[in-house]
Amino acid sequence: MSTTTDAAEAVPRAADRAPAAPGAAAAQGTVAVPDITAAMRTPEFLQDPYPLYARMRRECPVHRSPQGIWYLTRHAEVETALGDLRLSNDRERMTRSLTARDGRLRDLSRLTARLGRVMTNTDPPDHARLRKLVNKAFTARRVEGLRERIQQIVDGLLDRAVADGRSTDLIEAVAAPLPHTVTCELFGIPEADRGRVTLWFQRLGLLGEDIEQAEAAVDQFEDYLMGLVRQRRATPGDDLISALVARQACGDHLTDEELLSTCFMLITAGDETSTHLIGNGTLALLRYPEQLALLRDRPELIRQAVEELVRYDTPTQSIVRVVAQDVTVGGRTLGTGDLVYLVLASANRDPDRFADPDRLDLVRPGNRHLSFGNGPHFCLGAPLARLQAEIAIGTVLRRLPGLCLDDSTPLAWHTNPLQRRLRALPLTY
């Protein structure tokens, strides 16, 4: 969960009600292409965004909407932009741009400012310093050490699902509780407190709808995390908060505000990507029964399969940058202060980069997708998200024979166009 992303998502929501300037589309040479900002709000897009992305790549791959928002949709431009420091991820710069476009977002900008400067919302040199410190605590060894425990959690969740009958909602039964449980255990959050943490997460999810509830949740969660930090200073454990506190005690330059904000970011960011990778990936397999059969027959392919599943239906569809310095992309000049949406999901279906990109191919060679980003802001939690998806999807296929989509309940998707998120995945087995 990213407050900056949620605030950015509110811009198209406001903008699709704003009239375009007369002749704006013609001046931009985009007459043939629909207003993508408005199109991303349609039921058709929410069900299947990929036809619109394909049209954008063909007709206007570097597109400026009538509301002044840029969209990059080809793999080459998106990959380059992810590493270009002229496209900034700095929270303060981005919130200035957001509030300049829509004064109603000032409350959101005040909230994001309260969350401190974390590495996901900074540019070098602060980003490099903070990421280095977190890397020392959030190591590959620590993630791999969770494998056995993740398997136990998945097995327990499936035990309960199977006991309830021959149908289940995979999101509710496995995909949502798994990463939440893993994150709480990783940070040493006591089981007795996890109900409160869940409630705060739910209220943070109302950021674009109820700013007062979201702000109250931030207050309460910050106070709670600060209490955990004080406990770990007095009695260190084998959790990630203790590891970050230890880095601070070793003299690494990590202020209390940065420590608290880093914990907040890591805890809230880890849930949704893993949840929707598991949900989207399982749905893709059910829609490609020959690929599902291949994975059942060759379970050793699960790691490679997860890379293709995250490419095929990308949980984080777009990420947002703000132009810090004029930059030319695809022959178009992006001006300082402009918002830029890097459409990762479109880049992952680019036929110039992937053969037959709209087909699921679990043994696809050279799968250099951009689902976890690229460059200095490559997703720190990618190894943990991959591990959870490998274990969850592999176990579901092994333990639930005759797995099918329950067609009696239509699939519904969350309305945030920057993320691809199923509300539920009803299954029978």
pLDDT digit string, tens, across residues 212-245: 777 788 888 888 989 999 999 999 998 888 988 8
pLDDT digit string, tens, across residues 164-180: 888 999 999 999 999 99
What's the pLDDT score for residue 20? 37
pLDDT at 306 over 70: yes
Cis status of the peptide bond prior to 125, with omega within 30 of 0: yes
CB < 8 Å & 24+ apart, contacts of 222-231: 222/260, 222/264, 224/193, 224/196, 224/197, 224/200, 225/260, 225/263, 225/264, 225/267, 226/260, 228/187, 228/188, 228/189, 228/263, 229/256, 229/259, 229/260, 229/263
What's the pLDDT score for residue 7? 47
Question: Taking residues 422-428, what's their average pLDDT?
Answer: 96
- Backbone φ and ψ for 239, nearest 5 degrees, come out as -110, 175
Distance CA 285, CA 279 (A): 10
Question: Taking residues 321-326, what's their average pLDDT?
Answer: 94
What's the pLDDT score for residue 27? 37
19 pLDDT tier (thresholds 50, 70, 90): very low
Which has more confidence, 252 or 203? Answer: 203
What's the pLDDT score for residue 222? 85
Question: Taking residues 299-312, what's their average pLDDT?
Answer: 98
pLDDT digit string, tens, across residues 326-383: 999 999 999 999 999 999 999 999 999 999 999 999 999 999 999 999 877 678 788 9
pLDDT digit string, tens, across residues 377-411: 678 788 999 999 999 999 999 999 999 999 888 89
Structural domains of the chain ordered from first start: 3-428 (1.10.630.10)
What's the pLDDT score for residue 264? 76
pTM: 0.86
Question: Taking residues 8-36, what's their average pLDDT?
Answer: 46
Quick one: what percent of the chain has pLDDT higher than 90? 53
Indicate the helix (H) or strand (E) that contains 75.
Answer: helix 75-82
In the block, tokens 């592999």 appear at 394
